[in-house]
Structures are given as C-alpha cells and as structure tokens.
Amino acid sequence: MRGTVGELGEFGLIRELTSRLTTTEAVRLGPGDDAAVVAAPDRRVVASTDVLLEGRHFRRDWSTAYDVGRKAAAQNLADIAAMGAVPTALLLGLVVPASLAATWPVELMDGIRDECQVAGAAVVGGDVVGGDAITVAITALGDLGGREAVTRSGARPGDVVAVTGWLGWSAAGYAVLSRGFRSPRAFVEAHRRPEPPYHAGPAAADLGATAMTDVSDGLVADLGHIAAASGVHIDLRSADVDVPAQMHDIGQAVGVDPLHWVLTGGEDHAIVATFPPDTKLPARWRVIGAVSPTSGPPLVTVDGAPWDEAGGWDHFTHG
C-alpha cells in the first residue's frame, strides 16, 4: 500500500482495516453497522478500556506498528482474563494524523487481529479519526462462562500469593532500549510484544482464586491494589521470585538490581492471584508470598520490609 492516511481517506482506511479482519463464532455482527453484536452466553459481559498514546506508551522508533497492535490488544485482553473470563471481542478507537503512512494503521490492525486470535477473540468494531497524536483506545469484551468474576477484593488471610507468566522482562527490555541497545533480543522482544497467559485467568478462577489481577503497573503495585481492595497485608518472599540468569547479566551491565524489574516492571501482563492455602496449583504457577491480616493500612512488603520503590505508575507525574 502507498500513500498517507489522508490520501486514503477515512472511509478508505476503514475499508482497508476491516478487510483484514477475521471472525469467530462469537461474532454475530462484525464491523460496518452502527454497532457490533457479540455472543454473551453467560448473560454477563466483562468489559475493559485502555488508551495508549504515542510517546507515552509506545515509540515508533522502538516498536513496529504491528508490535504496538499486539501490545495494545494484549494489555486489554489480559484485563479480561484477569477477571476469570475468556476474551471474545475487541473494539478499536484510533486517532491518526493525515500525514501518517497508511501502512502504519494497517499493520497496527494486523497486530491487534493476531493478538486477538491468540486470545480467541476478534475485532468487531471501531472508529478512526484524524488528529495530531497517534492514540489507540481499545475496549475488550469477555465471557465468564458461568464463573464468578475474580475481583481484587477477595484475598483472605492465610491465602497464598501465586503468579504465572513473565515478570520484569518488558522492564529489562525497556532498560536495554533506553540505553540505545537492541539486544538481548528476548527482553527487547518482551518489551515490544508481551505474552500474557490468557488461559491462566479462567483456569485460576476454576481453581478457586480469591483475588486476581494482571501485572500492568508492576508486581508490588498491583498486589497493592489487591491488598487495598481486600483489606489485607501481603508479604512477598524475594527468594521465591524467579529472576532469570540473563536478567542478572543485563542488570550488571546497566547497573540495576534485576529484582527491581521483576517487582516493579509492568507491561508483561503476568497474572497474579491469591488462592486458599491448600490449592493444588498447576506447574506454571509459582507461589511467591502469603496473605495475612493487617492491623494498620493494607500493605505489601518484600521479605517483611516495605519495598521502597513500590507504588503505581502515575501518568501525569512520571510520564
């Protein structure tokens, strides 16, 4: 494809984008009408919205449009999985400058489509408008299949804390990229394209998870959300948190304790949950801590002590 978004025009671009989509059985009516219709066999629908901005959430010199699409979709689909639901559909609100090469939104859509396929979902609708800053607003929908939604507020003293998926890989990749390197490739790839363990969300709900979230702000920060919502204390055992050997090497190269990446790095979209202590967890879950009562404010500690660098990412003050 040649030319810019402006040359293609709004309707031309929408035609191009929708022509690339695939569908699933859950899609009763796809893009092109006033609204889409998606199956919701559970009689409830799970829904989540995220907005990504160029410069803040992605950089075009670091990530291809395809990778941005994969990542944007993954971020939202992981939110659905972290409720214990199976992702079904995704809607895209897209702002693109008229001067942008038309291949960019097209490859973005390819990435979104492919990530949806990984999660079992499909793109069912959206909106495209011209504007100065590339903005990707995604809404994902999912079905609970009869499960109770696993919120952040159900953690109980005595529960274990367990995690599955990747932790700190995206942050280590970011550290590498921000220092001008393009390798080690595994971490750079992890930053460009996270791989959330979508299936683990519904599976955790079936196993009796009492609270669950995906790790998007960082493990300590996201467990802080669970601690606050549940009114409990959570202590992590750093020795049980896996820090891959290669991450140690990067840490040494750039002067960062890699445990920092694992505990505070977001964007890998691992899934962390609390379970009753006798839960038999599948092999890919790692127990990394325990839930206890709190007499003071809800709190996350690491090896019994406050983690100084805890706290969420604030887009206005840190951005």
Map the footprint of a copy of itself across residues 55-74, applying CB under 8 A: 56-57
Give the strands of the sheet with 211-214, arranged side by side.
211-214, 271-275, 160-164, 286-292, 233-236, 299-302, 305-306
Cβ distance to a copy of itself smaller for residue 145 or 244: 145
Q: How far apart are the first and last CA of the chain?
A: 34
Is residue 267 part of an annotated ligand binding site? yes
Candidate list 65, 74, 86, 92; residue touching a copy of itself; CB under 8 A = 92
DSSP-derived 3-state class of residue 164: strand
Q: Does 101 bind a copy of itself (CB under 8 A)?
A: no
Question: Shortest Cβ distance from residue 240 to a copy of itself (Å)?
Answer: 24
Cβ distance to a copy of itself smaller for residue 32 or 276: 32
**Measuring CA to CA, how many Å separate 245 from each of 169, 253, 258?**
12, 13, 10
Q: Does 133 bind a copy of itself (CB under 8 A)?
A: yes
Closest listed residue to residue 64, CA positions, set 116, 17, 103: 103
Asked whether the beta carbons of 313 and 217 are under 8 A apart, the reply is: yes
Is residue 57 part of an annotated ligand binding site? yes
Question: Shortest Cβ distance from residue 55 to a copy of itself (Å)?
Answer: 8
| Angle at the Cα of 187 from the Cα atoms of 181 and 188, rounded to 5 degrees | 50
Question: Shortest Cβ distance from residue 174 to a copy of itself (Å)?
Answer: 18
Is residue 4 part of an annotated ligand binding site? no
Is residue 240 part of an annotated ligand binding site? no
* Residue 157 preceded by cis peptide, ω within 30: no
- State how far the Cα of 230 lies from the Cα of 174, in Å rounded to an integer: 32
Is residue 303 part of an annotated ligand binding site? no
Q: Does 182 bind a copy of itself (CB under 8 A)?
A: no
Candidate list 18, 37, 244, 287; residue touching a copy of itself; CB under 8 A = 37
Candidate list 71, 152, 193, 233; residue touching a copy of itself; CB under 8 A = 152
Q: Does 125 bind a copy of itself (CB under 8 A)?
A: yes
DSSP-derived 3-state class of residue 162: strand
Is residue 126 part of an annotated ligand binding site? yes
Residue numbers belonging to the annotated binding site for ATP: 126-127, 152, 216
Residue numbers belonging to the annotated binding site: 34, 48-50, 57, 79, 126-127, 152, 214, 216-217, 267, 313
